[in-house]
Each structure stands twice: as structure tokens, then as C-alpha cells.
């Protein structure tokens, strides 16, 4: 697997250090509250688990899954809920935890879908932000790293369902695409 990686963009150490900062900031912002963190499966699962360990306030977790690119590296803009939340978020402070924001279309769909459930507040935390590729204006409240417009894998992110278990964020060798 490692031999398929062309470039390490963000090391495991840098990811963990940034998550400690994010955890502190989010804990301070939600002090006295009990937010529900909503992880977007599958990509954000690893980030979610490290993020809550970096927080020192009571939190609840829930997950939802939406359709993704499949094995393709380009967005279709079409999003479907594959797994919904287990519990209601009405009156709750909800924080969406996402692996990466690219065009913003996925998060636009998710926030529009969740806001009608009348949470007390709704914010977004994304580990990675491909800011230059944004197509819709979506406010991301907490960002781990702004990255260039490259297709990345590792730390939860896949290509064709593999590479999620790498501890770092990397770029695949070009010959690995479409294999």
C-alpha cells in the first residue's frame, strides 16, 4: 500500500497535533453544553474518534452515511442518504464532522437536510478543505488543513474503498487511478 503513495501531504504527527488544537477550541466553544457530533461515514470515522478523544466536555456521537463518488475521483453533485441519524437533533447543538470539503455540494445537502430538524445550532468541522474547488458557499466553522486541489487518500479517505487505514494524508501515484 505504501508503495502506491506518490507524496505524503500531511504526516500522522501533524494530523494529531492539529486535532488536539481543534478539540480544545471546540470544547471551549461548547463549554457548558452537550453537543452531538455527527460523523459522516465512512471517511470521517477515524477523524471523529480522534477528535472526541481530544475534547474534554460531555459529547454524544451519531453517524450518517451519504452516497459518495464510488471509485471515481470526480463529484457527481448527486447526494443520497444511505444511513440516517439514530436520534433526533431537535433542540440539540449539532456539529457535523466531515473528512473533506471539496465542491461543498455534499455538505450543502447535509446541512439543508439537518436544519429542518430544528437543532439549537448547527456547525461544521472538516479535517480538510479544498477551498479553491468550492462551488457552493458553505460556511465551515472548524477546518483542520486547507489543501491544494489534489485527490487525497489516507486517514479515513479511500480510493476504491482502500487506503483508509493509512495514518497520514497522501496523494496516490497516477498509475494507481482507474486500476
Known catalytic residue: 4?
Answer: no
In what side-by-side order are the strands of the sheet with 152-153? 5-10, 169-172, 152-153
- Interface pick for ligand 5GP out of 69, 85, 114, 143 (rule CB under 6 A): 69
For residue 149, what is the DSSP state? Answer: S
102 binds ligand 5GP (CB under 6 A): yes
157 binds ligand 5GP (CB under 6 A): yes
> Per DSSP, what are the bridge partners of residue 21?
none
Task: Please choose, out of 18-26, 57-65, 87-95, 102-110, the segment that lies near ligand 5GP by the rule CB under 6 A.
Answer: 102-110
Task: Please choose, out of 7-15, 27-35, 67-75, 117-125, the segment that lies near ligand 5GP by the rule CB under 6 A.
Answer: 67-75
- Interface pick for ligand 5GP out of 95, 153, 166, 172 (rule CB under 6 A): 153
Residues binding ligand 5GP: number (CB under 6 A): 19
C-alpha angle 29-141-70 in degrees, rounded to nearest 5: 130
113 binds ligand 5GP (CB under 6 A): no
For the annotated catalytic residues, the residue numbers are 102
Return residues touching ligand 5GP (CB under 6 A): 43, 68-69, 75, 98-106, 151-153, 157-159
Amino acid at each position: 500500500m505504501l508503495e502506491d503513495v506518490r507524496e505524503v501531504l500531511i504526516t500522522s504527527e501533524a494530523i494529531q497535533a492539529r486535532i488536539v488544537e481543534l478539540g480544545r477550541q471546540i470544547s471551549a466553544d461548547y463549554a457548558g453544553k452537550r453537543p452531538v457530533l455527527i460523523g459522516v461515514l465512512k471517511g470521517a470515522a477515524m477523524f471523529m474518534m480522534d477528535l472526541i478523544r481530544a475534547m474534554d466536555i460531555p459529547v454524544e456521537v451519531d453517524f450518517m452515511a451519504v452516497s459518495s463518488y464510488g471509485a471515481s475521483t470526480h463529484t457527481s453533485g448527486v447526494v443520497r442518504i444511505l444511513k440516517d441519524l439514530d436520534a433526533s437533533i431537535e433542540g440539540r447543538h449539532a456539529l457535523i464532522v466531515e473528512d473533506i470539503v471539496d465542491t461543498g455540494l455534499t455538505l450543502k445537502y447535509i446541512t439543508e437536510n439537518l436544519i429542518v430538524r430544528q437543532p439549537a445550532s448547527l456547525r461544521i468541522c472538516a479535517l480538510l478543505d479544498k477551498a479553491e474547488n468550492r462551488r457552493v458557499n458553505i460556511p465551515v466553522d472548524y477546518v483542520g488543513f486547507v489543501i491544494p486541489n489534489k485527490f487525497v487518500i489516507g486517514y479515513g479517505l479511500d480510493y476504491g474503498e482502500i487506503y483508509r487505514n493509512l495514518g497520514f494524508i497522501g496523494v496516490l501515484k497516477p498509475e494507481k487511478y482507474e486500476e
